[in-house]
Amino acid sequence: MTPDTGPGTGTGTTDRDDSPDTSRRGTVETRRHGGIAVIALRRTAKLNALSAHLESALLDAVRSKEVTTSRAVVVTGGPRVFSAGADTTELREMTTESIAAYYRASGSVYETFAALPQPTVAAISGYCLGGGLELALAADIRVADPTASFGLPEVGIGILPSSGGVTRLVRAVGPARTRDLVLRCRRMDAAEAYAWGLVGEVTDPGAPCLERALEIAAEMAAHPPLALSVAKQVITAATDAPRESALLLEQLGYAALNAASHR
């Protein structure tokens, strides 16, 4: 048991590295905390930088039995850092063809995580930058501690966020604030992220945000799973749907859930 994941009923590690030095390539640990699955990035030597290797391990974790049979999911990077972003050493070596192949393979993990039917919570400490922020944005709820630092620095190195960062950030905080964050490549602390609505809660100093994320996950996991799944889908669809369509989705979702509850 690791001290920053809490007690669990089962554990597994997804790691595609055959070499003895996994600390640099990283692993992804999955742990069950009752009905809650905890997914933990483990690449501390590189501040949990999201390489293709780590994303592949994360994709395996999201598809694992520990996660798919859970009632809620928490993703964390540990008590010191969530993720400092993409592994830029890989980016410099990618061609147009390899980038396209990447999005078909490990690059799909962000959408796969976002599409999980159960509610998801990101527990954020320290750096949450670039791809790390894109992963956090793919969660339904984000909890941070006061050490958290957020940003999308991609434009500063000549690229742009491309794993849902811009798309989800616009929907979370609006286009003006998205421009401010993306075009200026600036950082924001936990207090500003909370003021913007980027995170739903900031824990007290010294209070582990993973602990609070598990409490929130347990609260949601106590609700009927089908209702949670349908509500999550309706919320996602309603973000872009015209008002009339969003209302219809609510009504259809209610009718389907009502019918299911009387079977």
| Catalytic annotation, residues | 134, 154
Amino acid at 71: R
Q: CA-to-CA distance for 142 and 121, rounded, in angstroms?
A: 6
Contacts 24+ apart (CB under 8 A), 217-220: 217/36, 217/72, 217/73, 217/74, 217/119, 217/121, 218/34, 218/35, 218/36, 218/72, 220/71, 220/72, 220/119
Amino acid at the residue 234: V
Q: Which helix (H) or strand (E) holds 28?
A: strand 27-33
CA-based angle 236:239:240, to the nearest 5? 115
Distance CA 192, CA 194 (A): 5
